[in-house]
A and B are shown apart, each in its own frame.
Chain A
Amino acid sequence: MNPTPALQLTGVSKRFGATVALDAVDLDVADREVLALVGPSGCGKSTLLRVVAGLIGGDAGVVRLGGVVADDSSSRLDPERRHVGLVFQEHALFPHLTVGENIAFGLSGQDRRARAAARDRWLELVGLPGYRRRYPHELSGGERQRVALARALAPHPGLVLLDEPFASLDPNLRQQIRIEVVALLRSTGTPAVFVTHDQTEAMAVGDRVAVMRAGRIEQTGSPVEVFHQPRTRFVAGFMGEAAFLPITTIDERTGRTELGPVDLSPMGGAAVAMARPDDVTFRPADDGAAVVTGVEFRGATWCYTLRLPSGTEVTSTQSHLVRVEPGRCVEVSLVPGHRLVPVTA
């Protein structure tokens, strides 16, 4: 494997007037890696993408593509010289060109025969072999998405940037297209940055997930890490449902919460302890100190809201067989084997 990262950002910043869109961002994407960049809207992920593509310049920091400096904030490489593929939410297919012409657009350096062969191969790869002469408006949303991907991948870019590529597809189609797209990225070994605001999508797609907030990367790690070992309260809450319990510090390594002890050694000075709904369980007990305050039907499960004696509320998912009426007194505990996770505020 090539040790040079496909993309390397060092201290990249970008302001728009008084708004800091990117605040000293460091980020690497290894060769063949798919990185999911996730965060709430307005966190700067699209700006990051645009800086990497060269559509806008950074104010500070360095962008390297395959080891080559593309933007050191005083000079920058034009987008057309970066060999970076782009896939947008609205696909941005050229409406007056056929599917075939769209895919071949980026192959202008090659001779006719090579272009035609490459075009046909890509039509085949994205499962649209008979679509060469069609126009974008004759395609369904999913088909347009595949053409946009084929167009971006055809010139063999060193990196592909996908900006919310599935946001315009309906939910049923979304998952299927997502699986296809990721399979294609992996089979071609194309490194990719995949921007989304949907944490489920990020975890499903990314080899690693980078969680962004207010222009900063808050945490980067494997999907399992960012979900189960979030370092901050924001990451914990953004990646999934979570309840937070106040910690009483016993010593440097141990803290105590209403649901039991929490191991502070990985963090050193955590503010709260996180419990996800699947970590928490309860049993009805007339002398129980907690009360069921709400219940929500989720199909396969029920999600109960429980108020602890201190007033803190936690949630607990239970099998659809478990029915408890709101108002019941219960005894709350952690599911055996599950642990509270300390996070900083």
Chain B
Amino acid sequence: MTATAGATADRIGRWGWTATAVAVAALVVVPVATLAVSIAQPQGDLWRQQWATRLPGQIGSTLGLVAGVGALSIALGVGLAWLVSAYDFPGRRTLGWALVLPLAVPGYILGFVTTSAIGEAGPLQTWWRDRFGVDAWFPDVRSLPVAAVVLALTLYPYVYLLARAALRDQAGGAYFVARSLGASSASAVRRVVLPLLRPAVAAGVAVVVMETLTDIGTVQYFGVETISVGVFRIWRGTFDRDAASELATLVLAFALLAIGSERILRGRARFGEAGGRAAGLARRRLRGGGAAAATVGAAVVVALGFAAPAFQLAVWAVGEQSGPRGTPNLRRFGEFLGNSLTLTLTTVAVCLVLSILVTNARRFGNGRTAGWANRLTAAGYAVPGPVVAMGVILVLVGVDQALGSIDLGLPGVVATGSFLALVYAYAVRFLAPGLTAVESGLGQIPDEMTASARSLGARPRRILGRIHLPLSRASVLTAAVLVGVDALKELPVALLLRPIGFDTLPVWVYNLASESRFEQAALPALTIIGVALVPVALLTRRLDR
């Protein structure tokens, strides 16, 4: 082959890789951008009507919920991370990883277990009324504060994990230097350790806020109507696409506000390895009352966020299956599980292929362009579910209409929701964890290794098959697990986009729980928790490394 031909093929290859990365990024960005643009021509009537009725309350609830969940998550996450990193007490190691377990319990599951346990018909209030009289005061369970506590109990591990990692990797050295410079323990924590944690905490809280904005199921158990719930009401109630999309832009605005504040909070701080690697804090041993308080405090959080609901669900599930009615819905269980698996596996396949393409684009294509494309692709994770869902609907409707206008006679892809829309929206939401995992394996293969293989005469396909894939098998598997579990337990997007009659496990759980059929919801709920424990186990393994 001549030099020219080789180089041309090379150049086309590079261009192709870059174009692939840009195309994948566009897949993620276009729905969000389309949605954002839709507000450019607002329907005055809609907004006037919404403003006169539900909107002020929805904005208030959203603000209150985000503030409450955020503050509680910081308190729990940072407090517990500091407790297990700076002190030693009985059960510290076990509690250290057990505190991550609540991450496996989705809000829409903890929510209904909570309402059943302390709701009006629940055992606690029954006992309360027996003891203090029928009219005895009891805090309102169907309220924003309780919803905030429930969400915080399921979401604080994001803050906890990042704070612990920061304490492990950075704080030790800095703390001791501060002490050696004459700072007291309290002053060293306040002046050095807490500021060091700021970026990690900001990143964790950003995830918590996004998840809170995404939530549609949990808050409804508690009668809290956020803007996201408003989007859901309009969309599934009237299928008024334009109205739902415009309201969703408000959710997007909240998300952008959260990202903006994270950037401001973090400032220019980038504290990689600031205090010396793996320095760690020397743990102070607690004794007596202090030790007991620490153990009990951490154990209570684990109990409330994981152990108690899991136990309650197990009791319900066993009771239901062994009860006189037998197992009326076990047959339907298979159907819903099948739906969930089909959706999950399709999403995993799509995300993996896209992640591998995008990671390789960075290696073989124009590094800078592909790098930007990667970052945009990963940004889908930070967009709340209702925004993604409505954006996907707008894009698919647009494509549908364009195809219709050239009269291909294709069946309408979207009227109200479709499998395609679901997979698309899931891919936008869950590409980021997949991409991160794939990049951590495939992306970490040194360029020298690729260069060596090429200089030894290997064409790109042989390099992929013989070098890159064998070396990144573990990370591709991790990516599949992370994406798959996220997809399997996803509720809000499924609620918004599922085709009529296509119920996934979470949707089924939500429907049963909304009708207070908790016993029947227990088995599928436990299934979801069981699956969600897999990535949690992966996370906890890295904690004390």
Q: Which residues of A are interface residues toward B (Cβ below 8 A)?
A: 50, 53-55, 57, 68-72, 74-86, 88, 90, 92, 94-96, 105-106, 108-109, 148, 151-152, 155, 157
Could you give 14 example pairs across A and B, Cβ below 8 Å? A50-B451, A55-B451, A70-B3, A72-B3, A75-B3, A75-B4, A77-B3, A79-B451, A79-B454, A80-B455, A80-B457, A82-B455, A94-B471, A105-B458
Q: Is the CB of A95 within 8 A of B471?
A: yes
B residues 439-485 in Cβ contact with A at 8 Å: 446-449, 451-459, 462, 466-467, 470-471
B399 proximal to A (CB < 8 A): no
**Stretch of B7-15, B58-66, B176-184, B524-532 contacting A (4+ beta carbons < 8 Å):** B7-15
> In the complex, A75→B2 CA distance in Å?
10
Q: Is the CB of A94 within 8 A of B449?
A: yes
> In the complex, A137→B95 CA distance in Å?
36
B133 proximal to A (CB < 8 A): no
Q: Is the CB of A79 within 8 A of B3?
A: no
Most chain-B Cβ atoms within 10 A of its Cβ — which of A50, A71, A105?
A105
> In the complex, A53→B457 CA distance in Å?
12
Instruction: Choose from A54, A71, A72, A108 the contact partner of B457 (Cβ within 8 Å).
Output: A108
Q: Is the CB of A105 within 8 A of B456?
A: yes
B410 proximal to A (CB < 8 A): no
Q: Is the CB of A94 within 8 A of B467?
A: yes
Cβ distance B9 to chain A, nearest Cβ, rounded Å: 7
How many residues of B sit at the interface, in one of the four size bands?
A: 20 to 34
Q: Is the CB of A76 within 8 A of B451?
A: no
Q: Which residues of B are interface residues toward A (Cβ below 8 A)?
A: 1, 3-4, 6-10, 446-449, 451-459, 462, 466-467, 470-471
Cβ distance B386 to chain A, nearest Cβ, rounded Å: 42
Q: Is the CB of A79 within 8 A of B7?
A: no
> In the complex, A78→B9 CA distance in Å?
9
Cβ distance A265 to chain B, nearest Cβ, rounded Å: 45
Q: Is the CB of A86 within 8 A of B455?
A: yes
Q: Is the CB of B452 within 8 A of A86?
A: yes
Closest CB pairs A-B (n = 7): A106-B456, A75-B7, A92-B448, A79-B454, A75-B4, A76-B7, A86-B455
Please name the residue on chain A nearest to B9 by beta carbon. A78
Q: Is the CB of A53 within 8 A of B451?
A: yes
Most chain-A Cβ atoms within 10 A of its Cβ — which of B4, B10, B452, B471?
B452
Cβ distance B198 to chain A, nearest Cβ, rounded Å: 33
Please name the residue on chain B nearest to A76 by beta carbon. B7
Cβ distance B205 to chain A, nearest Cβ, rounded Å: 36
Please name the residue on chain A nearest to B448 by beta carbon. A92
Q: For chains A and B in complex, what number of residue pairs have CB atoms within 8 angstroms?
A: 93
Q: Is the CB of A78 within 8 A of B10?
A: yes
* Chain A residues with CB below 8 A from B459, complex form: 80
Please name the residue on chain A nearest to B460 by beta carbon. A80
* Chain B residues with CB below 8 A from A69, complex form: 3
Q: Is the CB of B457 within 8 A of A151?
A: no
Most chain-B Cβ atoms within 10 A of its Cβ — which of A57, A80, A86?
A80
* Chain A residues with CB below 8 A from B6, complex form: 75-78, 81
Most chain-B Cβ atoms within 10 A of its Cβ — which of A75, A78, A83, A152?
A78
* Chain A residues with CB below 8 A from B457, complex form: 80-81, 83, 106, 108-109, 155
* Chain B residues with CB below 8 A from A78, complex form: 6-7, 9-10, 454
Please name the residue on chain A nearest to B473 by beta carbon. A96
> In the complex, A70→B432 CA distance in Å?
40
Q: Is the CB of A105 within 8 A of B454?
A: no
Cβ distance B27 to chain A, nearest Cβ, rounded Å: 30
Instruction: Choose from A71, A76, A90, A151 the contact partner of B448 (Cβ within 8 Å).
Output: A90
> In the complex, A248→B340 CA distance in Å?
89
Please name the residue on chain B nearest to A81 by beta carbon. B6
* Chain A residues with CB below 8 A from B454, complex form: 54-55, 78-80
> In the complex, A81→B455 CA distance in Å?
8
> In the complex, A75→B8 CA distance in Å?
7
* Chain B residues with CB below 8 A from A86, complex form: 448, 451-452, 455
Q: Is the CB of B452 within 8 A of A151?
A: yes
Cβ distance B427 to chain A, nearest Cβ, rounded Å: 30
Please name the residue on chain B nearest to A101 by beta carbon. B466
* Chain B residues with CB below 8 A from A79, complex form: 451, 454-455
> In the complex, A106→B459 CA distance in Å?
11
Q: Is the CB of B7 within 8 A of A92?
A: no
Cβ distance B100 to chain A, nearest Cβ, rounded Å: 31
> In the complex, A76→B6 CA distance in Å?
7
Besides the contacts A81-B457, A94-B449, A155-B456, what 13 more A-B pairs have beta carbons closer than 8 Å?
A50-B451, A55-B447, A68-B3, A74-B7, A76-B7, A77-B3, A79-B454, A86-B452, A92-B446, A94-B452, A96-B471, A105-B453, A148-B452
* Chain A residues with CB below 8 A from B1, complex form: 77, 81
> In the complex, A101→B467 CA distance in Å?
12
Instruction: Choose from B8, B452, B462 the contact partner of A92 (Cβ within 8 Å).
Output: B452
Cβ distance A167 to chain B, nearest Cβ, rounded Å: 13
* Chain B residues with CB below 8 A from A84, complex form: 455
* Chain B residues with CB below 8 A from A54, complex form: 454
> In the complex, A77→B20 CA distance in Å?
23
Q: Is the CB of B7 within 8 A of A77?
A: yes
Please name the residue on chain A nearest to B471 by beta carbon. A96
Please name the residue on chain B nearest to A104 by beta carbon. B456
* Chain B residues with CB below 8 A from A70, complex form: 3
> In the complex, A77→B8 CA distance in Å?
9
> In the complex, A82→B6 CA distance in Å?
11
Cβ distance B61 to chain A, nearest Cβ, rounded Å: 50
* Chain A residues with CB below 8 A from B458, complex form: 80, 105-106, 108
> In the complex, A286→B447 CA distance in Å?
63
* Chain B residues with CB below 8 A from A81, complex form: 1, 6, 457
Q: Is the CB of A71 within 8 A of B3?
A: yes
Cβ distance B283 to chain A, nearest Cβ, rounded Å: 33
Please name the residue on chain A nearest to B456 by beta carbon. A106
* Chain A residues with CB below 8 A from B9, complex form: 78
Q: Is the CB of A152 within 8 A of B455?
A: yes
> In the complex, A68→B457 CA distance in Å?
17
